[in-house]
């Protein structure tokens, strides 16, 4: 394994016992993920950058609601935004969040479909 590979692998897993601060930060993320509209927005952004119009269409929520959810997600540091001409594009801040969102939805898929869980 090369130096770059070792660093990349190490950054995917943080195996130290969780401190109170880490547990509180993780719980805060789960609170934000507990809203179905926010989770849908995050799932959409897990597919790639998206503007408010795209996020509104994808989630079925009102533009006002999407904007409010995006403000919460930005304030919490879960999403980033950048301006491209007159549009603002939103994206997930990091790969950890992307994997968390996708795994949560994969887990939910097993619960909804009755498919047995993976080992």
The reported pLDDT for the residue numbered 90 is: 98
**Burial class, 23, CB count within 10 angstroms (exposed 0-12 / middle 13-18 / buried 19+):** exposed
**Burial class, 97, CB count within 10 angstroms (exposed 0-12 / middle 13-18 / buried 19+):** buried
Give the H/E segment covering residue 90.
strand 87-92
The reported pLDDT for the residue numbered 94 is: 95
The overall average pLDDT reported for the chain is 91
pTM: 0.84
The reported pLDDT for the residue numbered 14 is: 79
Q: Which residue positions in the chain have pLDDT lower than 70?
A: 1-11
Token look-up 């929520």 returns 61
Would you say 69 and 41 are in contact if contact means Cβ atoms under 8 Å apart?
yes
| pLDDT, tens only, 33-49 | 999 999 999 999 999 99
Would you say 49 and 90 are in contact if contact means Cβ atoms under 8 Å apart?
yes
The reported pLDDT for the residue numbered 10 is: 54
Q: What is the CATH number of domain 26-107?
A: 1.10.10.10
């Amino acid at each position: 394994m090369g130096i770059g590979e070792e660093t990349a692998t190490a950054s995917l897993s943080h195996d130290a016992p969780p401190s109170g601060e880490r547990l509180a930060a993780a719980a805060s993320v789960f609170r934000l993920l507990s809203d179905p509209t926010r989770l849908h927005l995050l799932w959409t952004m897990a597919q790639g950058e998206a503007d408010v119009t795209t996020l509104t269409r994808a989630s079925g929520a009102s533009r006002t609601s999407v904007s409010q959810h995006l403000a919460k997600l930005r304030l919490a540091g879960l999403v980033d935004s950048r301006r491209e001409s007159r549009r603002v594009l939103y994206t997930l801040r990091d790969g950890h969040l992307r994997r968390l969102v996708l795994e949560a939805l994969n887990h939910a898929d097993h619960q909804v479909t009755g498919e047995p869980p993976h080992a």
